[in-house]
Amino acid sequence: MNRRRALLLLASALPLAGCMQPHATGSIATAPRAGGEGYLLATGDKLRIIVFGQDSLSNIYQVDASGRITMPLIGAVPVGGLTTAGAGAAIEAKLKAGYIREPKVTVEVDTYRPFFILGEVTTSGQFPYVNGMTVQTAVAIAGGFTPRAQRDYAEVTRRTARGIQTAEVPITYPVRPGDTIVIKERWF
């Protein structure tokens, strides 16, 4: 009797197995944490630049669509793809070329570029990045899941040194500035 019951149970579970959607928890090449030494600047970041002894040059500058900032005296400085230290060195080099004898420049990120969330959330769109956030906190910022949302994993698209990468990740996966998150619809 137990063998027959086990076969019936197995036979009734097989049709349901075909309805399940597999979700390999992939991994996007780990980009450096926002605020970390390896964080690469990109369009949408706002930088606080301090030039020691030059109050007229110290200000907040936004990285434009071409990956540059524009400062008085020196004009456009390409900073996209650089770290904050690299951006500081690029600004110092331009200032040293005929404007300031020994410039000392400090660059820090004032505001990170936004992240984007789409799909089965209450309010999809663009939101300000908060340091240390996960997919789950991004969903909370977007007003929570809709009733049809897949709540275990999400699809994250990220620009890395190897190009644009997309992967299905667990809901606890860390979000980076500029990421696009898609919350899929569950099947049942």
pLDDT in tens, 48-103: 999 999 999 999 999 999 999 999 989 999 999 999 999 999 999 999 998 899 99
6-15, 119-128, 139-148, range with the lowest pLDDT: 6-15
101 inside domain: yes
Q: How many domains does the chain have?
A: 2
Q: Which pLDDT belongs to residue 119?
A: 94
Last residue of a domain, one of 54, 82, 111: 111
11-20, 98-107, 161-170, 173-182, range with the lowest pLDDT: 11-20
pTM for the structure as a whole: 0.73
Do 174 and 120 reside in the same domain of the chain? Answer: yes
128 inside domain: yes
33 inside domain: no
Q: Which pLDDT belongs to residue 35?
A: 52
185 inside domain: yes
Give the domain extent around 85. Answer: 46-111
Return contacts of 29-32, CB within 8 angstroms, 24+ apart: 29/158, 29/160, 29/161, 29/162, 29/165, 31/158, 31/160, 31/176
